[in-house]
Amino acid sequence: MTAAGRLPTLVVGGGIGGLATALALARAGRPVHVIEKSAEFGEIGAGLQLAPNAMHVLDHLGVLPEIGKHAVYPSRLVWMDAIAATRITEVDLGAAFKERYRHPYIVMHRSDLLSVLLDACRAERRITLETRREVAAIDDLGDGARARCADGTAYEADLLIGADGLHSTARRLFSDDAPIRDGYVAYRGAIPIERLSTHAGLDNVVMWVGPDMHFVQYPVRRGELYNQVAVFRSPRYSPLSEDWGTPDELDAHYAQTCDYIRGCLALMWRDRRWTMADRKPIARWTKNRIALMGDAAHPMYQYIAQGACQAIEDALALARLVAASPDDLPAALAAYEQARTRRTARVQITARAMGALFHLDGIGAVLRNEMMATRSAADYTMLDWLYGHRV
């Protein structure tokens, strides 16, 4: 069965990337249908950092006033040594930062961002949304695409966007690769801020780094909740097993960290863990009238907090190029690929390298700390390529 005749645009996946893409395309005049496999559009109960390169897109989409109702605007990013509890370096996110990048750096709850995007999509007459539709296969029809769902329904569209995340079905049209894991696992969640007897305040995003681990903390939801992410490398990692990165291993790995971190760790949720993965950059992610975006196109480690930011950048780039060549969609998609592959590959590779820097031990960690101690908090030169980018 083919649902609803031929659609102008079908977006597969209703996460942050898929909804931002639907909104950007619709605001550029294109009708969009979004299908999502889950029963509800939703995000997990944890935080998200959004840098100026994504804020500028969200501004363009007209959702910043709503985002401002939920966000926290920190004044610095602080790197701390997780063992010695000493400050390594920091980035000043104050007036000079905002002036340089023309937008602030914010932190917010993922669910709040998803709700803002979802409400904006629901208010947009060109967007229709559907849940419980899991795409099992995608056919390239040359002049369009067909998405076949696990429940037997099918959709044909003039333009199909694969926004279906790390385990993307759409990506199979472009690559037979698989997610790459190297044994890192994350525990994360946001808890009422009053449950912490001490924390780093509403002004700080804090990144504690140590041997094969890092621990991130920042406030979300106007400062009512405190987000914590505990990452470490499991000594029992095996690609053939799921039994690694357990709460016992978390406690054993974090036993070496300072008293403050161990106190905070006691409040972490332990009922769910996320195994970390990325994939290598690929050179092609568009074909005829099919394109990938977000984690489906360029999944990356979260170590520079850019996965969602890059998905949001993709959304606007894609919408602008499709709007510029509505009668030649393959050319529009080729231009989108050209515009985005190099940048997102650089972000993917930088995220990996930054993880290696966080997770140093011994003399490597000593050298890292010494070298970073000399940089000024207002030195943004290494950040310009990332935060200064405009779609």
Ligand X SMILES: Cc1cc2nc3c(=O)[nH]c(=O)nc-3n(C[C@H](O)[C@H](O)[C@H](O)COP(=O)(O)OP(=O)(O)OC[C@H]3O[C@@H](n4cnc5c(N)ncnc54)[C@H](O)[C@@H]3O)c2cc1C
Contact footprint for ligand X (CB under 6 A): 12-18, 35-38, 48-49, 134-135, 163-166, 169, 186, 188, 229, 274, 294-295, 302, 305-309, 311
State which residue, 90 or 314, has the beta carbon closest to ligand X.
314
Amino acid, single-letter form, for residue 259: D
Place of tokens 């959004």: 50
d(CA 17, CA 61): 13
Shortest spacing between CB 86 and ligand X, in angstroms: 24
Q: From CA 41, how far away is CA 327, in angstroms rounded? A: 32
State how far the alpha carbon of 102 is from the alpha carbons of 105, 187, 233, in Å: 10, 33, 37
Residue in 105, 187, 218, 336 annotated catalytic: 218
- Least CB distance from residue 341 to ligand X, whole Å? 16
Q: Over the range 84-121, which residues count as b (16 or more CB within 10 Å of their CB) and which as e?
A: eeeebbbbebbeebeeebebbbbbbbbbbbbbbbbebb
Tell me, yes or no, if 218 is annotated catalytic: yes
Minimum Å gap between C-beta 388 and ligand X is: 16
Among 355, 354, 182, residue whose Cα is nearest residue 279: 182
Q: Which is nearer to ligand X, 13 or 74 (CB)?
A: 13
Nearer to ligand X, 135 or 334 (CB): 135
In the complex, minimum distance from the CB of residue 254 to ligand X, in angstroms, rounded to a whole number: 16
Which lies closer to ligand X via its Cβ, residue 213 or residue 369? 213
CB nearer ligand X, residue 276 or residue 369: 276
Residues in CB range of 68: below 8 A, 6 or more apart: none
Tokens 């932190």 correspond to: 107
Residue of 267, 277, 270 whose CA lies nearest to 303: 277
CB of 289 to ligand X, least distance (A): 18
Catalytically active residues, by annotation = 218
